Amino acid sequence: MLTKPPGMAAMSDPPRSAPAARDLLFLRESELRLAQDLLFFGYRGFTTPPDRLLAELGMGRAHHRVLHFVGRRPGITVGDLLGILGITKQSLGRVLQPLIAQGYIHQQPGRLDKRQRLLFLTEKGAALERRLFESQKEVLLRAYREAGPTAVEGFRRVMRGLMDEAGRAEVERMERALRS
């Protein structure tokens, strides 16, 4: 038989009658399969609204990411931004240079280290980033409100667990900056 019968995914699930596994039902393979679907459709729902705005301006998701993280960390160095995005200097350059040329982002030499080009959003850049955020805010607010505070806390815990070390460190840094 070449094809996977409908019930096959469930076959690897632990038997439901096993007493020790009672609390581990949420770790069943079928639940993990569902998680794949949720992440695919959920992430797409999250990115679609800004993607539409960006398309009108002839930009892509990569531009949004740069605007977002420069907004999150004003004065970030090019190197740090590269680390966060996980792309190469050349890939970033192709997105960053137009953003600078069109006046969305402003560069300023570092005071301690003059080799660095610290990145900031201009007024224009902050305005665009805000428009993009507002479009995403609608989706996020709806999801958060429908789900409620407890669910949101759970969502955060799971997303944190999905990240690699670098991502987790970055998020923690953002939270520290927020509290201070």
Partner DNA sequence: GCGGTTTGGTCAGCATGGTTGGCGTTTCTC
Partner DNA sequence: GAGAAACGCCAACCATGCTGACCAAACCGC
The continuous run of DSSP H or E covering 121 comes out as strand 117-121
Nearer to DNA, 38 or 57 (CB): 57
Answer with the entry of DNA, its own copies, none that 137 interacts with (C-beta below 5 to 8 A by kind).
its own copies
Under rule CB under 7 A, residue 60 binds DNA: yes
120: which residues sit within 8 A by CB, 6+ positions away?
70, 74, 75, 105, 106, 107, 108
3-state secondary structure of 107: strand
Under rule CB under 7 A, residue 107 binds DNA: yes
Under rule CB under 7 A, residue 48 binds DNA: no
Please work out the total of residues on this chain that contact DNA, with binding judged by CB under 7 A. 32
Which pair of structure tokens corresponds to residue 83? 């680390």
Answer with the entry of DNA, its own copies, none that 144 interacts with (C-beta below 5 to 8 A by kind).
its own copies
CA torsion through residues 86, 141, 32, 4, sign: negative
- The CB-of-118 to DNA minimum distance in angstroms stands at 7
Nearer to DNA, 70 or 96 (CB): 96
DSSP characters over 72-106 = HSTTB-HHHHHHHHT--HHHHHHHHHHHHHTTSEE
Answer with the entry of its own copies, DNA, none that 122 interacts with (C-beta below 5 to 8 A by kind).
its own copies
Under rule CB under 7 A, residue 95 binds DNA: yes
HSE-up (13 A, CA, CB side) for residue 167: 8
For residues 51 and 131, what is the distance between their CA atoms, to the nearest angstrom? 12
Binders in 74-93 for DNA, by CB under 7 A: 77-79, 82, 86-93
x-marked contacts with DNA along 137-176 as a string, rule CB under 7 A? ----------------------------------------
Contacts with DNA by CB under 7 A lie at 58-63, 65, 77-79, 82, 86-97, 107, 109-110, 112-117
